[in-house]
Amino acid sequence: MKNTLLVLLLMVAGAMSLKSQNQPDGQKILLTDSNDDTILLDLDNAAGPMVFVVYGPGCGICIKELNAISKKVDAWQNLYQTTIIAFSRNYDRNYGRKISRMQEKFGYPFPLFIDTSGELAKYLGNCDGINTKYFSSIENYHLMIPQTVVLSKDGKVVFQKYGYQSGDEDKIEALLKELSGILP
């Protein structure tokens, strides 16, 4: 898990800038992982596209979405320099343990984060192109889960969906390929 966090931080700290008209420079957000460790996510320096997945630990379709993405994550990271950020809100003091058990049970190749402050949700809610019908407020964004949002290197929303449908991960991969300029 520590290696995964290091890879995540290095990818996010890459040379490309993730900026949008609605987002301030220097956007850094604290997230907590399933081990209750805090990391600083630097959203201004992404090496490539970013895929955000909003999930809940007791949500069956969220688990299906995360499982589908976990099968693709190695290719997405290696071929397209994609960073995967899976996060949830913190609702009770046992939430960290629930996330930790979920991580252990499914062995996701990316960390599961808790957005304790709501800052990541606020950031995504202000991105250019976000559909506010589905991602309308910090307090309520989790009501439609799972949600998957793909940001281009320049911080624009290029894909957004809620729910799970088999095959959506292939659509995301095709989009990541297009964003990276790799020809079919």
Q: Is the pLDDT of residue 6 over 60?
A: no
Q: Is the pLDDT of residue 16 over 60?
A: no
Q: Is the pLDDT of residue 5 over 50?
A: no
Q: Is the pLDDT of residue 121 over 80?
A: yes
Q: SS3 for 106?
A: helix
Mean per-residue pLDDT of the chain: 81
For residue 85, which of 150, 131, 10, 37 has the smallest C-alpha distance? 150
* Residue 43 near residue 122 (C-beta atoms within 8 A): no
State the average pLDDT over residues 138-156.
Answer: 79
The pLDDT value given to residue 165: 95
**Long-range contacts from 92-98, C-beta under 8 angstroms, 24+ separation:** 95/57, 96/32, 96/34, 96/36, 98/57, 98/58
Give percent above pLDDT 70 in the chain.
78
Q: SS3 for 161?
A: strand
Q: Is the pLDDT of residue 143 over 70?
A: no
| DSSP at 156 | B
Q: Is the pLDDT of residue 171 over 90?
A: yes
Q: What is the rounded CA–CA span in Å between residue 152 and residue 100?
A: 29
Q: Is the pLDDT of residue 21 over 80?
A: no
The pLDDT value given to residue 61: 94
What is the value of pTM for the model shown? 0.81
The pLDDT value given to residue 140: 62
State the average pLDDT over residues 133-151.
Answer: 72
Banded pLDDT at 168 (limits 50, 70, 90): very high
Which structural domains are found in the chain, ordered by start? 2-175 (3.40.30.10)
